[in-house]
């Protein structure tokens, strides 16, 4: 729909001051002035149901985080070169949410930095360079990490040491998906070895978010990790999106796959809006790196982000948000599955907890329909519901609300989605 004049004015000003590469959501971008719980508000006072923002997983402006950050800012903010008991308290609690083998944590400010560091550690440990990722993966912005983030597209080429495998896609691959991926990873491992790179790491987002949200099959990651380990590499679970309870099955997305990674990276929801991220690892994996490298990250592990992260951990536990993600996620999946059954151009709803994907396709087919998916996203935005689309063909509606989403919020989302689908075609 047409952009109102004040929105056009903001877009013009933005183009005059912001650097290159920025993007906006929606053909009619949303100007937000305030957030609270599961809602965003524009300057005209309109209320939007936020079914997309996973950073504020406790809800926008959760008072526990606001208070913890304000308190900490007024007491102390310094870095890891001092002995800080708050950092140790938090680290002990964070590591207690992981399998016992994952027993060390290093703090960064962003998921990209966490992946960058994890890769340096993996390279030092394995002595190899080769990296394996899925075909439309995203892992971050640094030059190192962009080199293994194929979703950035052909203008951001992959490194010569990077190979891709398919993401699982049971809708199109059927039951043979695990066998197919085992064959693919064997062949890229062989190729990396033949080119002298060897195998350093398999890096996988545990829910395959930018690959189109693929929660199944759950026997897959253990099998891929075993292949990589046999070849001398390690398995890095990128939990930047899947982590902190989002999948409703424990704290970490890899847990659904019944495999313990060698390294895990965390970010986005970790501070509910405060930049805080981390690399968690098995102690022995970090030894070689630690012998040779000094790692100091000015803000990583500093008091204020740790106070935010600590409040997030407390709140997830106190408000039972992992259980909520499972229950409300189940309600949404049942509802979306019903809506999908009523439209020939919706092929599938899938999800784990509060991370769901809905396939928009040509009628009675699995052929992606990007334009239709985009028009659905824009239509929902005009009706004050915020979602987005993902996947290699941009045709998978991605639903990823704050973990505090209630049964009533879920019912409203389903009602608006059904109406938007009816407005498109039967
Ligand atoms: N990994 C995944 C799976 C992500 O989704 C993102 C961010 N979209 C990153 C890493 C990078 O995190 P950040 O933007 O905090 O650097």
What are the structural domain ranges in the chain? 5-58+320-424, 63-318
Question: In angstroms, rounded to a whole number, what is the distance separating the alpha carbons of residues 259 and 99?
Answer: 10
Question: Would you call 28 exposed, middle or buried from its count of C-beta atoms within 10 A (0-12, 13-18, 19+)?
Answer: middle
Q: Which ligand 1 atom is at minimum distance from the Cα of 140? A: 11
Q: Is 245 in the pocket of ligand 1 (CB under 6 A)?
A: no
Contacts of 394 (CB under 8 A, 6+ apart): 368, 370, 373, 374
Please give the distance, rounded to the nearest whole angstrom, from the Cα atom of residue 1 to the centre of ligand 1: 30
DSSP, collapsed to helix, strand or coil, labels residue 248 as: coil
Q: Is 55 in the pocket of ligand 1 (CB under 6 A)?
A: no
Question: In angstroms, rounded to a whole number, what is the distance separating the alpha carbons of residues 88 and 169?
Answer: 41
Q: Is 110 in the pocket of ligand 1 (CB under 6 A)?
A: yes
Tokens 């978010």, located at residue: 209
pLDDT on residue 426: 53
Please give the distance, rounded to the nearest whole angstrom, from the Cα atom of residue 114 to the centre of ligand 1: 9
Residue with CA closest to ligand 1 atom 16:
112
Supply angle C-alpha 423, 348, 254, rounded to 5.
130
Q: State the complex-level ipTM.
A: 0.99
Q: Is 240 in the pocket of ligand 1 (CB under 6 A)?
A: yes
Out of 55, 138, 398, mutate this one to test ligand 1's pocket (max ligand atoms within 8 Å of CB): namely 138
Contacts of 374 (CB under 8 A, 6+ apart): 389, 394
Please give the distance, rounded to the nearest whole angstrom, from the Cα atom of residue 75 to the centre of ligand 1: 30
Answer whether the bond into residue 216 is a cis peptide, omega within 30°: no
Q: Is 138 in the pocket of ligand 1 (CB under 6 A)?
A: yes
pLDDT on residue 3: 85
Q: Which ligand 1 atom is at minimum distance from the Cα of 205? A: 3
Please give the distance, rounded to the nearest whole angstrom, from the Cα atom of residue 420 to the centre of ligand 1: 30
Please give the distance, rounded to the nearest whole angstrom, from the Cα atom of residue 139 to the centre of ligand 1: 5
Contacts of 260 (CB under 8 A, 6+ apart): 99, 101, 102, 254
Contacts of 274 (CB under 8 A, 6+ apart): 65, 69, 304, 305, 308, 309
Q: In what order do the strands lie in the sheet with 199-205?
A: 102-108, 277-282, 263-266, 234-238, 199-205, 130-134, 162-165
Task: From first to last of the 426 residues of the chain, give the pLDDT tens digit.
Answer: 578 899 999 999 999 999 999 999 999 999 999 999 999 999 999 999 999 999 999 999 999 999 999 999 999 999 999 999 999 999 999 999 999 999 999 999 999 999 999 999 999 999 999 999 999 999 999 999 999 999 999 999 999 999 999 999 999 999 999 999 999 999 999 999 999 999 999 999 999 999 999 999 999 999 999 999 999 999 999 999 999 999 999 999 999 998 999 999 999 999 999 999 999 999 999 999 999 999 999 999 999 999 999 999 999 999 999 999 999 999 999 999 999 999 999 999 999 999 999 999 999 999 999 999 999 999 999 999 999 999 999 999 999 999 999 999 999 999 999 999 999 875
Contacts of 148 (CB under 8 A, 6+ apart): 119, 131, 133, 137, 139, 158, 159, 162, 203
Please give the distance, rounded to the nearest whole angstrom, from the Cα atom of residue 254 to the centre of ligand 1: 16
Does this model's pTM top 0.90? My answer is yes
pLDDT on residue 2: 76
Residue with CA closest to ligand 1 atom 1:
139
Q: Is 184 in the pocket of ligand 1 (CB under 6 A)?
A: no
Question: In angstroms, rounded to a whole number, what is the distance separating the alpha carbons of residues 255 and 322?
Answer: 13
Using left for φ > 0, alpha for ψ between -120 and 50, and beta otherwise, residue 7 falls in alpha
Asked if the 63-318 domain carries CATH number 3.40.640.10, the reply is yes
pLDDT on residue 28: 94
Architecture of the domain defined by 5-58+320-424: Alpha-Beta Complex (3.90)
Q: Is 111 in the pocket of ligand 1 (CB under 6 A)?
A: yes
Please give the distance, rounded to the nearest whole angstrom, from the Cα atom of residue 115 to the centre of ligand 1: 9
What CA–CA distances, in Å, run from 124 to 105, 164, 172, 194? 17, 22, 38, 21
Residue with CA closest to ligand 1 atom 13:
111
Q: Which ligand 1 atom is at minimum distance from the Cα of 267? A: 15
Out of 117, 268, 390, mutate this one to test ligand 1's pocket (max ligand atoms within 8 Å of CB): namely 268
Which residues in 162-177 are b (16+ Cβ under 10 Å) and which e?
A: bbbbbbbbbbebeeeb
pLDDT on residue 375: 97
Q: Is 112 in the pocket of ligand 1 (CB under 6 A)?
A: yes
Q: Which ligand 1 atom is at minimum distance from the Cα of 277? A: 15
For the beta carbon of residue 368, count every other beta carbon within 10 angstroms.
21
pLDDT on residue 1: 58
């Amino acid at each position: 729909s047409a952009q109102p004049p004040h929105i056009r004015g903001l877009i013009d000003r933005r183009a005059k001051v912001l650097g290159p590469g920025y993007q906006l959501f929606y053909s009619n971008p949303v100007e937000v002035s305030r957030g609270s719980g599961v809602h965003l508000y524009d300057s005209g006072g309109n209320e939007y149901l936020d079914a997309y923002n996973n950073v504020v997983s406790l809800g926008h402006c959760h008072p526990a985080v606001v208070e913890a950050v304000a308190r900490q800012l007024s007491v102390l903010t310094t870095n890891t070169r001092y002995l800080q008991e708050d950092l140790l308290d938090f680290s002990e609690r964070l590591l207690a949410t992981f399998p016992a083998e994952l027993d060390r944590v290093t703090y960064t400010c962003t998921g990209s930095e966490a992946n960058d560091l994890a890769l340096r550690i993996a390279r030092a440990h394995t002595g190899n360079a080769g990296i394996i990722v899925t075909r439309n993966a995203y892992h971050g912005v640094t030059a190192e990490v962009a080199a293994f983030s194929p979703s950035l597209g052909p203008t951001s080429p992959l490194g010569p040491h990077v190979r891709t495998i398919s993401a699982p896609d049971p809708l199109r691959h059927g039951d043979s998906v695990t066998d197919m991926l085992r064959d693919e990873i064997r062949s890229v491992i062989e190729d990396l070895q033949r080119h002298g790179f060897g195998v350093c790491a398999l890096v996988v987002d545990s829910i395959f978010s930018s690959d189109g949200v693929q929660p199944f099959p759950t026997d897959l990651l253990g099998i891929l990790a075993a292949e990589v380990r046999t070849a001398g590499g390690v398995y890095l679970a990128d939990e930047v999106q899947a982590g902190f309870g989002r999948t409703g099955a424990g704290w970490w997305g890899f847990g659904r796959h019944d495999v313990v990674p060698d390294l895990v990276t965390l970010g986005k929801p970790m501070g509910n809006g405060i930049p805080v991220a981390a690399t968690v690892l098995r102690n022995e994996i970090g030894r070689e790196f630690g012998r040779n490298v000094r790692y100091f990250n000015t803000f990583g592990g500093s008091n204020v982000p740790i106070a935010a992260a600590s409040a997030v951990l407390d709140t997830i536990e106190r408000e039972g948000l992992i259980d909520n993600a499972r229950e409300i996620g189940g309600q949404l999946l049942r509802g979306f599955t019903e809506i999908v059954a009523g439209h020939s151009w919706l092929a599938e709803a899938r999800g784990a907890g509060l991370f769901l994907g809905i396939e928009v396709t040509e009628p009675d087919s699995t052929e992606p329909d990007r334009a239709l998916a985009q028009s659905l996203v824009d239509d929902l935005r005009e009706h004050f519901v915020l979602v987005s689309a993902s996947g290699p063909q941009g045709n998978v509606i991605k639903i990823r609300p704050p973990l505090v989403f209630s049964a009533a919020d879920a019912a409203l989302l389903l009602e608006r989605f059904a109406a938007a689908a009816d407005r498109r075609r039967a």
